[in-house]
Structure 1
């Protein structure tokens, strides 16, 4: 498997784990991998009236540090703008717009480590 294919497979697995994690906590997943010319949102969800863009970062070990360290303030700002675009396109109103991040670390034991940060912006 090429490095690019491995990363895509790893990312898709992480997004599925993140969606299940959020649904177990009462979130409603509205969309996955939505994109426009400015970028992509991994997950869009509703959390008790709040419209939430969720950035998912997945690593297959801690060799490159925490998955969440890859999300900069600049990236979080871009995610918020993308969420506004998604809301306009889907004519969706919400009491709040929020950007969350989920970091997933897949270890050799197979059990994923999941960190969820709410409101990273």
Structure 2
């Protein structure tokens, strides 16, 4: 129970840190923690005319690998389905809408921003 709560608090901290970081990089914040039956989108931004869907991963220490390693193929597929559902809800055609998927990894409080990871 305590480790689950610690992980959730770390996730909340990481998403706030990621949000602040990306705003400072010039992206416009749109939404956080979009949930649907297909999965969750951590953060949604716009960069000029392009939608940016951000997956946030964090590791407080690297004893069991880095944050990037936890962005698995399964997670990528779930995120992509959630994005397609979000776009459909907004009545946007995925083939005609400019978007990308970014990974923002935080390892030992160091931020790495990986653009267009899907």
TM exceeding 0.5: yes
Question: Number of paired residues?
Answer: 116
Does the CA contact (< 8 Å) of 1:28 and 1:47 recur in 2?
yes
Alignment root-mean-square deviation, CA: 1.8
Unaligned runs of 5+ in 1: 107-111
> C-alpha distance in 1, partners of 2:8/2:28?
24
Unaligned runs of 5+ in 2: none
Deviations 1:4-57 (A, max 9, x none): 100000000000000011000111111111101111111111112111111101
> C-alpha distance in 2, partners of 1:58/1:48?
27
Pairing 1:49–2:57 present: no
> C-alpha distance in 1, partners of 2:92/2:16?
24
The TM-score, its normalising length taken from structure 2, stands at 0.88
After TM superposition, the structure 1 = structure 2 runs for residues 1-121 of structure 1, keeping only pairs within 5 Å, are: 2-91=2-91, 95-106=97-108, 112-121=109-118
The TM-score, its normalising length taken from structure 1, stands at 0.86
The aligned residue for residue 109 of structure 1 is none
